[in-house]
Amino acid sequence: MGTGRPALSCSGGADTIEAAAINESTMRLQSSEVSPAAAAATVDATSAQLRQFIDLHARLFILTGAGCSTASGIPDYRDAAGNWKGAAPIKHQAFINSAYHRQRYWARSMAGWPAMRRAEPNAAHRAIARLQERGRASALVTQNVDGLHLAAGSDRVIHLHGRMDRVLCLQCDTHFTRSYVQELLTDGNRDWVQDSVTVRPDGDMELGDVDYSRFSVPACPVCGGVLKPDVVFFGGAVPKPRVERARRRLQRSDAVLVVGSSLMVWSGMRFVRHAAELGLPIAIVNQGVTRADDLADLKLQGDCADLLAGAVDVAT
Ligand SMILES: [Zn+2]
């Protein structure tokens, strides 16, 4: 199976999240190549294909992305052609090196956190939890930082990019809950005006044209150091042990199921690429093109919640 597959050139270091440099004309070409048959298929028919794939492979390596959480009210980063929606997310180096970028980040995050905290898991999360319960998942690896797999009852989740509900100090490494840090943020910024309601996938929020230099960023209550959400920003490194743990699980898997990721970042794409090298069957459920469409044995277009709910009996 692997021999006929095209070689992929992936940018970014092995342990660094880097947005893929996708040629725009290539993206347009791919997006116009969406199979008419797939577009015409009903959700039921598409779900049936997914169910068949799931039934055929006993141990699934499940990799989820932002598309898995859109039905929970947390929007995707990218449109159906794989391009950014709105401003690109914050870069790791900008957060580390610039006090102004930290002000901007925390101001937006303070505004976005309540909505993220209220978000509830959807049918896709529940279906995946049910697959785990049945012993059908060799691994659940997510690029999402929203914690919704845990909320749906999944355990043994590998949070590739960390978790939004935790904050760490870059100096003394003390961990805090995000809820506690939210109190520090709101206490220190009582007069801060929230002038927008556009939530982003990482809890970040569009606030329009505001002067972030007035925003007061809390320091670590233990040592006065810089606080950072326990998430991997773009340009930041996924911890090696986390990657290796997922890789070991992949080697004990029969197939890969990607749910709601365009695989534009290498941190997730690396596992699909490795699966292809191992000759494992790959199914992708996503709204729009992905970077691994050429590697997939089964590519299903559509809403993740609808398709997963149709393919997995969540009520039994
Ligand atoms: Zn500290």
Which domains does the chain show, CATH number per domain? 40-74+121-161+238-311 (3.40.50.1220), 92-118+164-231 (3.30.1600)
CA of 179 to the centre of ligand 1 (A): 17
pLDDT of residue 57: 97
What was the pLDDT predicted at 12? 37
**Backbone dihedral angles phi then psi of residue 185, each to the nearest 5 degrees:** -65, -50
Q: 67 and 304 in contact (C-beta within 8 Å)?
A: yes
pLDDT tens readout for residues 224-259:
999 999 999 989 999 999 999 999 999 999 999 999
Residue 191: the pLDDT is: 76
Give which of 203, 250, 253 is closest to 229, Cα–Cα: 203
Residue 146: predicted pLDDT: 93
H or E element that contains 186: helix 178-188
Task: Please give the structure tokens belonging to residue 200.
Answer: 């982003």
Distance 97 CA to ligand 1 centre (A): 17
Catalytic residues: 161
Q: Report strand pairing: 255-259 vs 282-286.
A: parallel
Q: Which pLDDT score, from 0 to 100, does residue 206 have? A: 60
218 CA to middle of ligand 1, Å? 11
* Residue 82 scores a pLDDT above 70: no
The overall average pLDDT reported for the chain is 84
Confidence of residue 20 (pLDDT cuts 50, 70, 90): very low
Lowest-pLDDT choice from 26-30, 45-49, 251-255: 26-30
Question: From the CA of 224, how far away is ligand 1's center (Å)?
Answer: 6
| Res. 107: pLDDT tops 70 | yes
Q: Once rounded to an integer, what is the mean pLDDT over residues 262-285?
A: 96
Distance 150 CA to ligand 1 centre (A): 27
What pTM was computed for the model?
Answer: 0.81
- Residues 209-220 have a mean pLDDT of 88
CA of 178 to the centre of ligand 1 (A): 15
Q: From ligand 1's centre to the CA of 217, what distance in Å?
A: 14
d(CA 169, ligand 1 centre) in Å: 5
Task: Calculate mean pLDDT across residues 26-50.
Answer: 64
Please tell me the distance between residue 176's alpha carbon and the centre of ligand 1 in angstroms. 10
**pLDDT band of 138, cuts 50, 70, 90:** very high
SS3 233: coil
**Of 7-21, 85-99, 245-259, where does the model show the most confidence?**
245-259
Asked if pLDDT for residue 198 goes beyond 60, the answer is no
Decide if 149 contacts 129 (C-beta within 8 A): yes
* Crossing angle (nearest 10°) for helices 99-118 and 178-188: 120
**Residue-level pLDDT at 24:** 37
Exposure of 24 by Cβ count < 10 A (0-12 exposed, 13-18 middle, 19+ buried)?
Answer: exposed
Residue 196 pLDDT: 42
- Residue 306: per-residue pLDDT: 93
Give me the mean pLDDT over the 2-18 stretch. Answer: 40
> In angstroms, rounded to a whole number, what is the distance separating the alpha carbons of residues 26 and 31?
9
- Mean pLDDT computed over 30-58: 76
Cβ distance 225 to 169 under 8 Å?
Answer: yes
Q: Judge residue 241's burial from the number of C-beta atoms within 10 Å of its C-beta, 0-12 exposed, 13-18 middle, 19 or more buried.
A: exposed
Kindly tell me if the per-residue pLDDT of 275 is higher than 50.
yes
Residue 56 in 3-state DSSP? helix
